[in-house]
Amino acid sequence: MSISNVPAYTTPAFAGAVPSREPVWLRRFLELMLCAFLAYVFTDGTLIVVRTGVSDMTSIVLDSGEGDTGRQLFYIGIAILLFLIAARHGLINVVSPFPTSVFFVVFWCFCSVSWAIVPDISLRRIILATIIIFATITIVSTLGPLRVTQLLYRIIAFFVVANMLSVILVPSYAIHSDQELDSALIGAWHGLMPHKNVASAVTALSAIMFGYHAFLTRSWKSAILLILSIIFLLGTRGKTSLGIVVPCLFAGIMYNHAFRTERQKFLLFASTFLFVAGIAVFAMVFTPLLSQVFDDPTSFTGRVGIWNIVLRYVEEYPMTGAGFGSFWLIGQDSPVLRIGGDMPWLFGIAHSHNGYLEMLVTTGVPGLVLTVLMFVIVPFYSFVMADPVWRKINGLYFGIWLFAVIYNLLETHIMNRDRQVWVIMLIAIQVAFLHRKREPGTGPRIVLGT
């Protein structure tokens, strides 16, 4: 299927953009920048992955860290260009599109460098994380939610089609081989992406996007892309993504439906509250069963063992943590060597497999509170307070945001530099922020239209 034929959300489902007064060449340059940025993120830092037959996730994470000079230069270059473009309208325009709460999170993470176990690693990681946040939020604000959605659709469509073709045409490249160090990876699809976990996350997000658009517009092209996404997602064997993609797609559709009237809006969020309350009641009733599960280190494919190590360190340093990015993969100074000495397999783990616990163990209780405030509570408020005129495009991003919130219960993407779900989550959060109801004349100024 030709990518040029993929619908660009020109239907009434996503109409409503304000024409920009900026030069066409500048918009085209920004669009190219967004495409390159997302392609780089989706392929985990390499547009073409050189396969060696072995896919060790630890080495991927190490390579994607701050020792990769090419990666640093790429993101720094994009950030500088975006800063110069935004500053054309005054320096205040550089920071005005940002939710205030993001500054508190970043500030606390920088403060944690002062007590980090390995300060230089911590500093490099928070600088890269800040650059990613700045670049993502700025490019959404400059191009505007509508155009970003159009380009995101096309980029994801390209990867879905290309991933499927790679599995068919070059399976030795696109499927994890029997030489993998982790036998659970053997036979799992990853396509053009370096690992099946990366591929499953991106493909799940694509399924939400194509499913939502197909439902709203009855587009047969989106329906075909949805089917391809589901097939590839099944091939990746990504259990986390498979388990939450359908509920999140349904939540996005329900959001769009609920915002037609205030009564329907109330019923949606009342139902959400009751659902959360029901989970809490379930947890209390089945506490013995849950305790048995969480006492077994092998539960959740070994995640419980990882979480136990994290919580043991948090008991020692609840308010400060180890310093941002200064717990896993920091060499001989890592607390894991001391706390997890009886479980050597933990030494190669790259993160906590829970974004919230990761922030807790690295930035303490204050960091966790600020993270939940910025990336869960404030976005939820933004979606609730959004102008109903944007309900159709917001419904898509509500589903994507919800996917990211739940996904981070089992994986670490929040504030994790250029992780794929994290970048798309930032896009969703910024779209909700820009579409929040405001008094006339207030709110962020957007350089290139909305």
pLDDT in tens, 42-66: 987 765 444 444 444 444 444 434 4
* Confidence band for 439, pLDDT divided at 50, 70 and 90: very low
Helix, strand or coil for residue 304?
A: helix
Helices (H), 170-195: 171-174
pLDDT tens-digit map of 294-341: 555 555 556 777 888 889 999 999 999 999 999 988 888 888 878 866
Instruction: Report the alpha-carbon distance of residue 308 to residue 294 in Å, rounded.
Output: 9
Q: Give the tokens for residue 336.
A: 């894991």
Task: Specify the pLDDT at position 10.
Answer: 39
* Confidence band for 31, pLDDT divided at 50, 70 and 90: very high
pLDDT tens-digit map of 101-155: 899 999 999 999 999 999 999 999 999 999 999 999 999 988 889 999 999 999 9
Angle at which helices 391-407 and 145-169 cross, to 10°: 50
DSSP-derived secondary structure for 113-143? GGG-SSHHHHHHHHHHHHHHHHHHHHHHHHH
Q: What separation in angstroms does the CA of 327 have from each of 43, 67, 236, 316?
A: 25, 17, 29, 13
Is the separation of the CB atoms in 242 and 230 below 8 Å? no
Instruction: Report the alpha-carbon distance of residue 176 to residue 197 in Å, rounded.
Output: 11
Of 389, 380, 399, 145, the residue nearest 260 (C-alpha): 389
Average pLDDT, the chain: 81
Task: Count Cβ atoms within 10 A of the Cβ of residue 76 and give its class: 0-12 exposed, 13-18 middle, 19 or more buried.
Answer: middle
Instruction: Report the alpha-carbon distance of residue 209 to residue 399 in Å, rounded.
Output: 9
Helix, strand or coil for residue 180?
A: coil
Task: Specify the pLDDT at position 414.
Answer: 92
Residue scoring higher pLDDT (80 or 86): 80
Instruction: Report the alpha-carbon distance of residue 77 to residue 69 in Å, rounded.
Output: 12
* Confidence band for 286, pLDDT divided at 50, 70 and 90: low
Instruction: Report the alpha-carbon distance of residue 215 to residue 222 in Å, rounded.
Output: 9
Q: Give the tokens for residue 445.
A: 């100024």
Predicted TM-score of the model (pTM): 0.85
Task: Specify the pLDDT at position 60.
Answer: 42
Is the separation of the CB atoms in 429 and 140 below 8 Å? no
Biggest distance spanned by C-alpha atoms of the chain: 63
